[in-house]
Structure 1
Amino acid sequence: MRISAMLAPALAAALALTASAAAAQTAPEPDVIKALKACSAIKADGERLSCYDKAAQSVTKAQETGEVIIIDKQTARAARRQAFGLELPTLSILDRGADKAETETLQAVVKAARTDAEGRLVVTLEDGAVWRQIDGEVLGKPPKAGTSVEIRKAAMGS
């Protein structure tokens, strides 16, 4: 079941977190990764292999000590979903390799919804995320449990 066409845009706009408009910054590449990439420029096979062996050991050590953290795309997607609505420049690292739809919208199912003492909508999603209406627009009845919703980023990333 989907929220009515009239209510869906209002719900998406109303259920926004205030967010920073700061531009996303890309984290600098760790030296161990730069060293690994540099090996490909070596022409001589033996030297290139030696370079890769040394670089691989450095990457392994950096990962074991926590200096470098390697995550797969599925883990990044899960973290990005949990952080949806937050606009922190350091979170932009999770956007690498993601398609735009993944970073601009969130598909979810409503676990519970209610209005608070001020008449604003509070929606709890099945994953435990809680979205609170921040504007004063009257939206009508809260969506029912089990309703599929789409939450989109609005102006300035909110």
Structure 2
Amino acid sequence: MKIFVITLGLLFSAVSSVNAQDIISELNVCRAESSNTQRLACYDKLSSINPKDIKSHVQADVINKTDTAVSAPLPVVKKETAKPVASQSYASRDNQVKNFGLAKIIEPEQKIEKITADVIDTKKDPYGKLIVSLENGQVWRQTGNSTLRIRTGDQVYVEEGMLGSYFLSKESSNKRIRVKRSK
């Protein structure tokens, strides 16, 4: 009985080490690719392998190793992946201005980092934070604690900061407030 348990344990350890070595060697092949798209395609091929196929491959590999035969390589299942295509309408200047400050869907190659517009209305929320409506229909709500005096008719600009933040300022001032687009 002890010999059976020891043999079974050795068999399972051989299966896991063979499988680990196969995956590591496949990953090293992918890592050696110089082209980014080729490397990504190689990693995608590795990730698309069905776990059931791995188990059957490993079992066949262990059986073949006990018979001292060479096992066949692991079958690769090719999976169709949908690639997001940057539409021309999103990349146009008008649509970039319209979508400035909203959630990022697709990053265009030439992206706008600053917009300028006239203020048509300013309000304060119950907490004293500014709500600024611009002539292009955008509404920006203050999120920080800074102060900036803005009146109707002022020309302001909104620029993108680090980590998805946005700042609103006047052309004639060196102060700025942190804002978030609400409409």
- TM-score normalised to the size of structure 2? 0.40
Q: Could you say which structure has the higher strand fraction?
A: 2
Q: Give the structure, 1 or 2, with the largest relative contact order (CA under 8 Å, sep 6 or more).
A: 1
**Bigger Rg, which one:** 2
TM-score (norm 1): 0.45
